[in-house]
Structure 1
Amino acid sequence: MKVAFVGKGGSGKTTLASLFARRLARQGNTVFAIDADVNQHLACALGMAEMDAVALPTLGDALPRIKEHLRGDNPRIASAEQMLKTTPPGPGSRLVRVAAGDPILRDLTTEIGGVRLAVTGGFTENDLGVACYHSKTGAVELLLNHIVDLPGQYVIVDMIAGAEAFASGMFTRFDTTFLVCEPTVRSVGVFKQYAGYAADFDVRIAVIGNKVDDESDVDFLREHVGDALVGWVGRSAFVKAGERGKHLDITDLEPANLTVLDTAKALLDSAGKDWIKFTRQAHEFHRRNAEAWGSERAGADLSAQIDPEYVLGPQLLETAPVLR
């Protein structure tokens, strides 16, 4: 399953993403986490020291290699340079397997407490004033378009904060999107904005309340998000310890907060996989990007990269080319 954590800046989405990833890994699942936020904090939230986190390999720097790898010998893609962040796979493309040993993930991820983590990389001095962050998250969108996740495998993405998460088609790449929402007017305002976008594109969202102190906070969330609320996390000594550099085993998280994580997993699993919709949405957003700017820049009709008969799914794993 593929899942995103989104929300207003400071809502705690990175914390919730890390707790969810650690819980799933502790239960024996295969977990691949991606930090796609401009503020790169997921590695530290998972338990890595900050001095080690800054040295992690980045997807943004590896984008040319990722494109060349995924392109494989797909005859519809003339060169890696003609791949957009939305380019979908087709016959001859290399697919990405979440299991350990996948050649592209092997070199670009680091294991932290049973979770395989990839980071996009933050802004550098050379980026300031000349690049937007989507130039880095394009690597994430390409990977998501090519990942075939099987039962017991989870891809967890900590998305960029605020409505920027909807600035590309990446918001359609998930089986469920969890919006982390504080009991404040600003935070529920972000939810309402997300909910409108999600409804337009058949994106499944659910809300996890965070920083909840009392029943009045719960009532406030229920009033504003309704049935989308699947649970809430209270102030946590476990989380506070982690923020102070003391990372406990996830089983030490407060029982009520563990229950919220397990409820979220059950909701995610209940969504099921819809590879036909996943592929249709990939084609739709690639066509949009090709027509809006990609084809003109490339000097070629990049919408022709779409093979309408090709549907991503596990049935392709036996025949998709693999580079080892």
Structure 2
Amino acid sequence: MKIALVGKGGSGKTTLAALFARHLAGTAPLLAIDADINQHLAAALGASDEEAVMLPALGDHLADIKEYLRGSNPRISSAAAMVKTTPPGRGSRLLSVAGANPIYDALVREVGGIRLAVTGPFATEDLGVACYHSKVGAVELLLNHMVDGPGEYAVVDMTAGADSFASGLFTRFDATFLVCEPTLRSVGVYRQYVGYARDYGVRVHVVGNKVDDESDVEFLREHAGDDLLTWVGRSAYVKAAERGRPQPISALEPTNRDALDTMRIAVDACAKDWATYTRQAVEFHVRNATAWANDKVGEDLAGQVDPEFVLGPHVMAP
């Protein structure tokens, strides 16, 4: 299952992504990806500042990623002709969550017992321009080419707010958890996100965070209704970790561990729909091709679409 953590900046999205990844770790194949503008997932998983800076960045190896994923797909003229929305087809190389491949060998590292890939740090000059989107685009390419099996998890810490709507990235997940504080600003981000996501059949589960009492829960329920899945209370465990005193995940407060269990149950209840997954990848690719990518690359990128190809476990067979 592919899982996104989204929400307002400062809502605790990255902290919850780290908690959920640690909750899953050791029980199932797992890959965590930091796709946020602010690259803090490694630190939340226990890396020092020096270790986090030394992690290889997906965004710095985009050409290598494209070349590998292109494989022998005859519809893609070159790696340079691939853009972030390029869908796989016959001849493309596909990824699993845990299987070995040159991309993982080069760019995935273990941090706090979690296999982690990062887009890389964003400089000020990256924001709002093609460089920034190309870094997140590396994540979209990986997810477009990933066939995840039952009981496998890819947990992605997404950029805050609704920036993922700039492409089809928000449709690349089986479960989307929107981390929401009991504040008007935070529920405003929820309304913005869910209003667009539902047009594409994306189910958003709200996970309350920094909840102090029942009035906070009632506030979230008033604004999120049935989308409110569960909530996480203020945590001495998290505070200790943020002060440099990490503990085993088993030391997390029982009520907060129950919330993580509820999230996993919701993920496992999702039904895979590979046909829709493939169709939406094609839809956003053709849209982006018309809007800007054809002009950038100098060819009609709609020709990259393989109309007979549907992603799924069947295409991973030898």
Structure-2 separation of matches of 1:206 and 1:194: 11
Structure-1 separation of matches of 2:41 and 2:297: 35
Structure-2 separation of matches of 1:69 and 1:122: 23
How many angstroms does 1:128 deviate by? 6.8
How many angstroms does 1:230 deviate by? 0.8
Residues 167 and 288 of structure 2 are in contact (CA less than 8 Å); yes or no, is this contact kept in structure 1? no
Q: What is the identity, as a one-letter code, of the residue corresponding to 2:104?
A: L
Residues 151 and 268 of structure 2 are in contact (CA less than 8 Å); yes or no, is this contact kept in structure 1? no
**Which residue of the partner structure matches residue 285 of structure 2?**
286
**Which residue of the partner structure matches residue 295 of structure 1?**
294
Note the 1:104-119 alignment, pairs <5 A: 104-119=103-118
RMSD: 1.3
Unaligned runs of 5+ in 2: none
Structure-2 separation of matches of 1:136 and 1:145: 15
How many angstroms does 1:98 deviate by? 1.3
How many angstroms does 1:102 deviate by? 2.6
Residues 6 and 165 of structure 1 are in contact (CA less than 8 Å); yes or no, is this contact kept in structure 2? no
Unaligned runs of 5+ in 1: 320-324
Residues 100 and 106 of structure 1 are in contact (CA less than 8 Å); yes or no, is this contact kept in structure 2? no
Identity %: 65
TM-score, with length taken from structure 2: 0.97
TM-score, with length taken from structure 1: 0.95
**Which residue of the partner structure matches residue 322 of structure 1?**
none
Evaluate the alpha carbon distance shift between residue 4 and residue 129 of structure 1 in structure 2; reply closer, same or farther with a 3 A threshold.
closer
Structure 1 stretches of 4+ moved >3 Å: 124-132
**Which residue of the partner structure matches residue 10 of structure 2?**
10
Structure-1 separation of matches of 2:296 and 2:165: 23
Note the 1:78-227 alignment, pairs <5 A: 78-124=77-123, 127=126, 131-227=130-226
Note the 1:65-80 alignment, pairs <5 A: 65-80=64-79
Instruction: Pick which of 234-243 and 106-115 moved more.
Output: 106-115
> Aligned to 1:271, what secondary structure does the other structure show?
coil
Structure-2 separation of matches of 1:128 and 1:318: 40
Instruction: Pick which of 203-212 and 117-126 moved more.
Output: 117-126
How many angstroms does 1:115 deviate by? 1.5
Structure-2 separation of matches of 1:127 and 1:233: 33
**Which residue of the partner structure matches residue 304 of structure 2?**
305
Aligned length: 318
**Which residue of the partner structure matches residue 249 of structure 2?**
250
**Which residue of the partner structure matches residue 271 of structure 2?**
272
Residues 180 and 186 of structure 2 are in contact (CA less than 8 Å); yes or no, is this contact kept in structure 1? yes
Residues 209 and 221 of structure 1 are in contact (CA less than 8 Å); yes or no, is this contact kept in structure 2? yes
**Which residue of the partner structure matches residue 58 of structure 1?**
57
Q: What is the identity, as a one-letter code, of the residue corresponding to 1:167?
A: A
